[in-house]
Amino acid sequence: MAYTMRDVAARAGVSPATVSRVLNKTHYISDETRQRVLEVVRELSYYKNVHARRLATGQSDLFGLVISEIANPFFPEVIRGFQAAAWDRGFDVLLLNTEYSKTRTQSIIRKLVESDVRGVAIMTSSIDNTATEALAEAGIGVVFTNYCSSDKLVSNISIDYKGGILQAIEHVAGLGHRRAAVIAGPEANRTAARIKHELVAGLTRRGLKPFPVTSSDYRVDAGASAVRDILSVPDIPTVIFCGSDLIAMGAMSTLESAGVRIPEDVSIIGIDDISFAFLARPPLTTISVPRERLGTTAFEALEKMLRLKRHRGADYRLETSLVIRKSTAPARSKARRISKR
């Protein structure tokens, strides 16, 4: 037998509205009443009908979360933070990934509008605000990362990569490094471009003008390929800054195959502090991005914006910090040349 909300209310001795508030966590309910309602919910194995609620309120319980690709280890903690914040407030999450495809991106925007999401967090650089006009027209709030200033129905979360990057530069300068190289992320990626700019500018100001500077996709194999350009220079640098931990781990693999010791010959620094960074050999020194907090902040930004009468967005800022492990060490004292194989 399928029980209704009225059945739960009758057995718990409360109104259907109280049952709704308990299940949706929309108003304060005393602990005693909340426990009584939840006990009846368990006894009757009652499940709320989201379609009926949508018809009754004219609103869905869905928030959207858009990422680049589910396989990228940057995103699990972002998803966890966003989903936990949504679930704690009685909402569900529609997770979509672009796979860096424009065609797929267009389908995602259509899917979000058709699903009547309340708001969407766009945690990928493969979607810009021109692609979200349909969301704005539908009254759907959007939060971006590192992209734009806040506006009506638009919030932005800025990740302060510069702070962590400057910490990393001071760290290697203190270890005596004077020659650096950079393997940045994809050239078309706006976050990668920002990180590259901060790395090159910061290293140049500190007297470690980087050479060579190259780019790579956010993949281990791409990082492994990119570092070969660095190995081809007459005297390889003593430290390599990478645009992500995946790039760094790929670079470490190729360096090891070429007989280059890490960190004795070359120090390596990544960005993100994914879980695999600690498991790398040697463990990777990296710039930590608070990814779970990024997900939590994204949901809270959406919820706050949609509660406001004019749906005005806001600007948020998250700090980064250096995590020192064993892939960095004092600079080698002699030039190191790699024999071509």
Average confidence (pLDDT) over 228-234: 88
Residue 341 has pLDDT above 50, yes or no: no
Q: Please give the Cα distance from 318 to 148 (Å, whole number).
A: 15
Domain boundary assignment for the chain: 5-48, 62-159+290-319, 161-288
Farthest-apart Cα atoms in the chain, separation = 82
At the top level of CATH, the class of 62-159+290-319 is alpha beta
Residue 39 has pLDDT above 90, yes or no: no
| CB-based contact 315:145 (threshold 8 Å) | no
Reading phi first (left if > 0) and then psi (alpha if -120 to 50, else beta), residue 146 is in left
What's the pLDDT at 34? 85
Average confidence (pLDDT) over 85-101: 90
Question: What's phi and psi for 218, nearest 5 deg?
Answer: -80, 65
- Note the pLDDT tens digit of each residue in 249-260: 999 999 999 999
Higher pLDDT, 326 or 149: 326
Average confidence (pLDDT) over 171-183: 96
What's the pLDDT at 340? 45
Same fold, 62-159+290-319 and 161-288: yes
Bridge partner residues of 97 (DSSP) = 67
- Note the pLDDT tens digit of each residue in 262-308: 999 999 999 999 998 999 999 999 999 999 999 999 999 999 998 88
What's the pLDDT at 338? 56
**How many CB atoms sit inside 10 A of residue 235's CB?**
11
Query: Which CATH fold would you assign to the domain 5-48?
Result: 434 Repressor (Amino-terminal Domain) (1.10.260)
What's the pLDDT at 29? 82
Average confidence (pLDDT) over 132-155: 86
With cut-offs at 50, 70 and 90, classify the pLDDT of residue 19. confident
Q: Please give the Cα distance from 191 to 71 (Å, whole number).
A: 19
What's the pLDDT at 54? 52
User: 161-288 domain in CATH 3.40.50.2300?
Assistant: yes
135-174 as b/e: b if 16+ CB within 10 A: beeeebbbbbbbbeebeebbbbbebbbbbbbbebbebbbe
List the single range of 21-25, 123-127, 152-156 with lowest mean pLDDT.
Answer: 21-25
What's the pLDDT at 81? 97
Task: Enter the pTM of the model.
Answer: 0.82
Find the helix packing angle between 16-24 and 31-44, rounded to 10°. Answer: 90
What's the pLDDT at 26? 63
Return the sign of the alpha-carbon dihedral for residues 281, 282, 286, 288: positive
Cα–Cα–Cα angle for 219, 224, 226, nearest 5°?
Answer: 95
- Note the pLDDT tens digit of each residue in 100-117: 888 888 899 989 998 889
With cut-offs at 50, 70 and 90, classify the pLDDT of residue 55. very low
